[in-house]
Amino acid sequence: MPFGKKKNGDFDEDMADDMADDLDDGMNDAMSDADNAASDGVDEDDLLFSELPIEVQVKKMPKRPKSRRSWLSKLLIITLFIFPFGATAVAMIPVLDPETGWRLFHLGGPKATVAVPGSERELQEEISRGVQDVQDRDRAAQDATAPDGTPENGQTSDDIANQLEGVSDLIGAPNQGGTTGDSTQPTPEELAALIAEEGAIDDPIEPDPLRPAPVPGLDEEGSFGRIPRIGDDGTTPFDAYKRPFETVENQPYVAIILTGVGLNTARTEAAINDLPLNISLGISPYARDIAKVAMDARAMGHEVFLQVPMEPNDFPLSDPGPRALLTSLSEGENLVRLEWLLARFPGYAGLVSHQGSKFGSMDSAIRPVLEIITRSGLMYVEGSNSGIASYGAQLAANASSPNAVGNIVIDDVPSRREIDARLNELVELAKRNGAAIGFAQSYPVTIQRLKNWAFRLRRQGVVLAPVSALANRQVTAQSADEAEAARRQAEQLENEAAAAQENGDESAEPTNTIEN
């Protein structure tokens, strides 16, 4: 019969209590025996484990070693606790110390160490020192000349030429005897007259507004708004919206087109108000208030162009934007995107390709686009390469459409020295070829250097002109046979590139370019 139960199945509480009391008495006796043994000098190792006190048993029980998972869990808890504080501290670095923050977040960036030597603060200080140095030299030259342009204090023309020597890195040094090595360089007397006429570099630019846009009869309704067209009387949007400018034979000209206008409000205002009016502005189709930007630029006197984003060779690493013309799209889809671009704002004299090194070299891609541009009476400016006329520029020349090619990108490295060096190359190229076009982006340092460079450009015998004034000067139209041969060559290169890509060689690209 089980303990604690009676024969009739009822629980015997008295018997259970007696058994519990007997168990407690036994444990107490064992503990007292262990204590007596310890007091009698008996070693605990000689006793049974069960006879040891509970505290001693707990100490002698084997401990479970901590696992790797236990350590990782603790490390994770500590990391999650510390991470918000660490992230906040790193985010506060640019606020507390902008210079250190710039160096930290731009470390290892592409062209970061070359493009901006030192910090942004050091770059701006360098620009300020350079501007101040040039202004001081200009004032000294002006002080040496009377208001009527005659030398003061008995100075000769040679003395004035020596004072002008070294005014800027972009000015050629006159030879001894008062003559210059280049026939296009002005004489010291002409330089003195130019200095008297130039005024101060900080003088505000007087507006010279262009005619309001749109001109009636030069646009039509499209799928996304009004798009340009040739007027019934034969007037083209290019003729109506370009900046008036008269060129002279045997006079070298340079032109600058500043791209990316409209993406940044402060830079856009600086480009419109601070740059010479003969510098053309390329407005991005992704700009905010794009119609107002174009209207303000034309009200000041700048001719404007619409940037057309096209697929580059390294797409998608270089992304021209959501409405770009791509070789992977059908002809119809690209023409729909082109129509959306054409309807962005009125008043542009032409289109300038943005990136587009791949799209502009493929006959099947660029030919339909150039046909639309030609029928619309617009100018096509090739901006995808430096000094290279792509297949698109040649097609525009063959169709007798106004065209131009960018020769030099002046601010690939946006530093003062590099920009000045590229502008010097542009001037020398204009002297050799009669005309040269530079591309620039709307960086603050670029706008500042362009302003200083244009202020003294005439001293080098070169004239700043709008891009529209240099149309059809760089690419010669081909004969019918030459054009057909070029088309077959472009088609062959395109097929070879497509076959190479199907075989897994993704680096193969058509490179149908024409040396300019």
Q: 386-424: per-residue pLDDT in tens?
A: 445 567 888 889 998 999 999 999 998 888 999 999 999
**CATH code linked to domain 219-481:** 3.20.20.370
Highest mean pLDDT among 9-18, 22-31, 236-245, 313-322: 236-245
- The answer to whether 371 and 400 are in contact (CB under 8 A) is no
Mean pLDDT of 285-293: 93
pLDDT at 62: 73
CA distance between the termini of the chain: 116
Mean pLDDT of 163-182: 37
Q: Which residue has the higher pLDDT, 433 or 186?
A: 433
Residue 88 pLDDT greater than 50, yes or no: yes
* Omega before 98 within 30 of 0, i.e. cis: no
Residue 149 pLDDT greater than 70, yes or no: no
Residue 346 pLDDT greater than 50, yes or no: yes
Summarised one tens digit per residue, pLDDT across range 297-320 is: 999 999 999 999 998 888 878 788
- The answer to whether 164 and 459 are in contact (CB under 8 A) is yes
Confidence class of residue 89 from pLDDT cuts 50, 70 and 90? confident
pLDDT at 499: 79
Residue 450 pLDDT greater than 60, yes or no: yes
Name the maximum alpha-carbon separation found in the chain.
145
Q: What are the distances in angstroms from CA 183 to CA 193, 400, 417?
A: 18, 33, 27
325-351: b or e for each residue (b if 16 or more CB lie within 10 Å)? Answer: bbbebeeeebbebbebbbbbbbbbbbb
Taking only Cα atoms into account, the Rg of the chain, rounded to an integer number of angstroms, comes to 40
pLDDT at 70: 76
pLDDT at 363: 85
SS3 362: coil
Pick from 330, 331, 393: nearest CA to 356: 393
Confidence class of residue 42 from pLDDT cuts 50, 70 and 90? low
**Cα gap 229→410, rounded to integer Å:** 33
Residue 140 pLDDT greater than 80, yes or no: no
Residue 147 pLDDT greater than 80, yes or no: no
Helices (H) then strands (E): counts for the chain? 18, 13
pLDDT at 453: 92
Confidence class of residue 216 from pLDDT cuts 50, 70 and 90? very high
Q: Which residue has the higher pLDDT, 171 or 5?
A: 5
DSSP H or E segment with residue 382: strand 379-382
pLDDT at 194: 57
SS3 157: helix
pLDDT at 388: 54
Residue 380 pLDDT greater than 70, yes or no: yes
Residue 151 pLDDT greater than 90, yes or no: no
pLDDT at 117: 41
Mean pLDDT of 207-230: 93
151-163: b or e for each residue (b if 16 or more CB lie within 10 Å)? Answer: beeeeebeebbbb
pLDDT at 157: 47
Q: Which residue has the higher pLDDT, 493 or 159?
A: 493
How do beta strands 226-228 and 219-221 pair?
antiparallel
- By percentage, how much of the chain surpasses pLDDT 70? 66
CB-hemisphere CA count at 13 Å for 268? 21
Mean pLDDT of the chain: 78
Q: What angle do CA 166, 170, 175 make, to 5 degrees?
A: 55
**Cα gap 97→105, rounded to integer Å:** 12
Least confident of 78-92, 119-133, 339-353: 119-133
Mean pLDDT of 354-360: 83
pLDDT at 85: 85
Highest mean pLDDT among 22-26, 138-142, 472-476: 472-476
Residue 115 pLDDT greater than 50, yes or no: no
Q: Which residue has the higher pLDDT, 173 or 107?
A: 107
Cut 0.75: pTM above it: no
pLDDT at 357: 81
Q: What are the distances in angstroms from CA 87 to CA 92, 95, 104, 106, 183?
A: 9, 14, 14, 17, 64
Q: Which residue has the higher pLDDT, 159 or 377?
A: 377
- The answer to whether 403 and 378 are in contact (CB under 8 A) is no
Q: Which DSSP category does 174 fall into?
A: P
Domain limits, the chain: 13-60, 123-198, 219-481
